[in-house]
A and B are shown apart, each in its own frame.
Chain A
Amino acid sequence: MKIYIIDDDIDIVGALTASLEAAGYEVGSQYEEEDLVEKIGRFNPDLIILDVMFPGDPGAGFRMARTIRHQDRLSRIPIIMLSAVNREGDFLCKFSSRDIDEVYLPVTEFVEKPVDPAVLIAKIKKLTA
């Protein structure tokens, strides 16, 4: 089973990779938006873990989710949005509730950072079953 992580934080990517690999997953990752579709396509993951805020662009994760969803080849890969951006607080004031719909934020699951890897792995299992 292959998991792909997109997050600009080197420590988050490092810790997640170690936890997921210990649980038996094959893990790939990238830190920025560049060549998103090509890199995901090459790795061919079963699930994607995606951050929201990237340097200089607090909403880049949303855009990346849409990009992934609009690719025929990638559109069925489940996406877990994993971010320190808080859904109840930040979303409603900054991004408004329309942002969590299928068009604007087409992700499968939203998980707030930090997350216990055990909880994350349970979600991954459910989404990839």
Chain B
Amino acid sequence: MITLRVLAVDDEPGMLSGIERVLDGYRTVVEEIEGEVEFRVETAETGEKALAAIEASPPDLLLLDYKLPDIDGLEVLARLAPDSRDMLAIFITAYASIDTAVTATKRGAYDFLAKPFAPADLKYVIRKASTRLLLARRARELEAEKKRVRFEFIRVLGHELKAPIGAVAGNLYLLRDRVMGDEVEKYGPVVERSLKRLEQMRKLIGDLLDMTRIESGEKKRTLEEIDLVEAARSALEAAGLEAEKLQLTLDLKGPDRLPLEADATEMAMIFNNLVSNAVKYNQPGGKVTVELEKTDEETLIRVSDTGIGMSPQGVEKLFGEFVRLKDSRTREILGSGLGLSILKRVTELYGGKVEVESELDKGSTFTVRLPRGQ
């Protein structure tokens, strides 16, 4: 329930009590924001009193009579601080002249109400103004939220880019200070780790550029018939070296050919992300299976592994940016933290979705569903 405060300004006591009777405690649903609103009425009899009340505690809506004993309604509007724009003014007048209307509008009045008016007229005007006010507030909140999310993203990105620098520098200091003695061979693992961290950084920058391109809509898309079997095979080949280190079995199941109208680089992103995760998070001697299937409604890409799997809580967090589920099993596995976020965005370009099934220590299955006719 949202409470909106209405300040009614009029020198006729009968008018003020009438407005109070109609609006104070009046409840209505504003469908545009799916919320119920209740009104509270406060009153002022003169222009100066109204300005003082607004200064002290700005109402949400202002019902302002033109004819007031001291300064008139137009003067009140003119003297309102420019930052009171979060309040909407409704101008009441018995002398409805075009000139007054134009001046009042110029000075920020949102709507008019001609005297005399029926309770239903008052409610109608108030409802309209409330909708407008609440929609504007909602839009401002969304804008602020967007800025906050953007800032948070960049802050974490900054940290993610600094982390490998810290790691590589730490390792270089070991070499400089000959911490492990004078034999070069002793530093082999340290050098290898450093190279890996640099590779991770390169990957992060690449992923970041991919994501920005997708997000901005600037990415050039060439939709043409491509063979998903071919795309899957390339991804498996690219992961071959890593897979060999873990002695993994790579398997591709499905038809000999599976044509789909798609962008080749986007399909490569999908397959590379899925396959490289299935390899990275696998266990020695494990298995990676890529399955392709086409039904009447959709094309399915399913990649399963026999890896370390995830807890239900882990699965829940999975698609967030820079979410890397670190624990004793994954600490040495490197990643940008953007891969699945990219996978999700690319899949959404095709109106599709990504599903995950996972069991701790058993493995994970990622299914990309691309609807037909996209």
A residues apposed to B, CB below 8 Å:
8-12, 14-16, 18-19, 22, 31-32, 53, 55-56, 58, 84-85, 90, 93-94, 113-114, 116-118
- Residue on A with the closest CB to B320? A56
Of the candidates A16, A32, A58, the one whose C-beta lies within 8 Å of that of B155 is A58
Q: Is there contact, CB below 8 Å, between A56 and B331? A: no
Establish whether residues A116 and B173, one from each chain, have CB atoms under 8 Å apart when the complex forms: yes
A53 in contact with B324 (CB, 8 Å): no
Cβ < 8 Å to A, chain B residues 107-150: none
Q: Closest A-chain residue to B337, C-beta based?
A: A55
A12 touches B166 (CB 8 A): yes
Contacts known (A11-B197, A53-B159, A58-B156); A22 close to B179, Cβ less than 8 A = yes
Q: Are B159 and A84 in contact (CB under 8 A)?
A: yes
Query: Are B159's CB and A58's CB within 8 A?
Result: yes
Shortest B258–chain A CB gap in Å is: 37
Q: Which residues of B contact A10 (CB under 8 A)?
A: 331-332
- Residues of chain B with a CB closer than 8 A to A114's CB: 165-166, 169-170, 173
Once the chains bind, are A16 and B170 in contact (CB under 8 Å)? Answer: yes
Q: When chains A and B are docked, how far (Å) is the Cα of A117 from the Cα of B190? A: 16
B159 touches A85 (CB 8 A): yes
Given contacts A11-B171, A56-B323, A114-B165, is CB(A18)–CB(B317) below 8 Å? no
Q: Are B162 and A113 in contact (CB under 8 A)?
A: yes
Asked whether A11 lies within 8 Å of B325 as measured between CB atoms, the reply is no
- Residues in B neighbouring A116, C-beta threshold 8 A: 173
B173 to A: closest C-beta gap in Å: 5
Taking CB atoms, residues of chain A closer than 8 Å to B29 are: none
CB–CB B179/A19 < 8 A: yes
* Chain B residues numbered 151-171 whose CB sits less than 8 Å from any CB in chain A: 151, 155-156, 158-159, 162-163, 165-171
CB neighbours of A8 from chain B (8 A)? 326, 331
Chain A CB within 8 A of B177 CB: yes
- Asked if B177 contacts A19 (CB within 8 A), the reply is yes
> In the complex, what residue of chain B is closest to A118 when comparing beta carbons?
B177
**Cβ contact within 8 Å between B331 and A31:** yes
Please give the distance in Å from B283's CB to the nearest CB on chain A: 19
Q: How far is the CA of A22 from the CA of B181 in the complex (A)?
A: 10
A31-B331, A32-B327, A90-B158 given; name 15 further pairs at CB < 8 Å.
A9-B167, A12-B166, A14-B170, A14-B190, A14-B193, A15-B170, A15-B190, A19-B173, A22-B179, A31-B326, A55-B323, A84-B165, A117-B170, A117-B177, A118-B177
**Is the pair A18, B166 in contact by a Cβ cutoff of 8 Å?**
no
Query: Which one of A11, A12, A18 has the greatest number of beta carbons of chain B within 10 Å?
Result: A11
Residues of B that sit less than 8 Å from A by CB: 151, 155-156, 158-159, 162-163, 165-171, 173-174, 177, 179-180, 190, 193-194, 197, 317, 323-328, 331-332
- CB-based contact A9/B163 at 8 Å: yes
Q: A85 to B190, alpha carbons, bound, how many Å?
A: 24
Shortest Cβ distance from residue A88 to the other chain B in the assembled complex, whole angstroms: 13
Would you call A12 and B156 a contact (CB within 8 A)?
A: no
Whether the pair A15, B155 counts as a contact (CB closer than 8 A) is no
Residues in A whose Cβ lies below 8 Å from that of B332:
10
Cα distance, A93 to B328, chains bound together (Å): 32
Q: Closest residue to B197 on the A side, CB-wise?
A: A11
Residue of A nearest to B170 (CB): A15
- Give the CA-CA distance A76 to B194 in the complex, in Å: 36
8 Å CB contact of B325 from A12, A18, A55: A55
Nearest A residue to B158 by beta-carbon distance? A90
Query: Which residue of A18, A31, A90, A94 is within 8 Å of B179 (Cβ)?
Result: A18
**A53 to B157 alpha-carbon distance, docked (Å):** 12
Tell me how far the C-beta of B369 lies from the nearest C-beta in chain A, rounded to whole angstroms.
28
B36: min CB distance to chain A, Å: 36
Partner of B170, one of A11, A31, A56, A58: A11
Smallest Cβ-Cβ distance to B181: which chain A residue: A22
Q: How far, in angstroms, from A39 to B90 measured CA to CA in the complex?
A: 66
Question: How far, in Å, is A119 (CB) from chain B's closest CB?
Answer: 10
Find chain A residues with CB under 8 A from B165 CB.
84, 114
Cross-chain contact B163 with A84 (CB below 8 angstroms) = yes
Q: Shortest beta-carbon distance, A118 to chain B, in Å?
A: 8
Separation of A12 and B165 alpha carbons in the complex (Å): 10
Q: How far is the CA of A22 from the CA of B173 in the complex (A)?
A: 12
Q: A9 vs B151: C-alpha distance in the bound complex, in angstroms?
A: 24
- CA of A16 to CA of B167 in the docked complex: distance in angstroms? 10
Q: Give the complex CA separation of A11 and B168 in angstroms.
A: 8
Q: Which residues of A contact B177 (CB under 8 A)?
A: 19, 22, 117-118
CB distance from A70 to the nearest CB of B (A): 26
A55–B333 CA distance with the chains assembled, in angstroms: 14
The answer to whether residues A15 and B167 also contact, given A8-B326, A56-B323 and a CB cut-off of 8 A, is yes
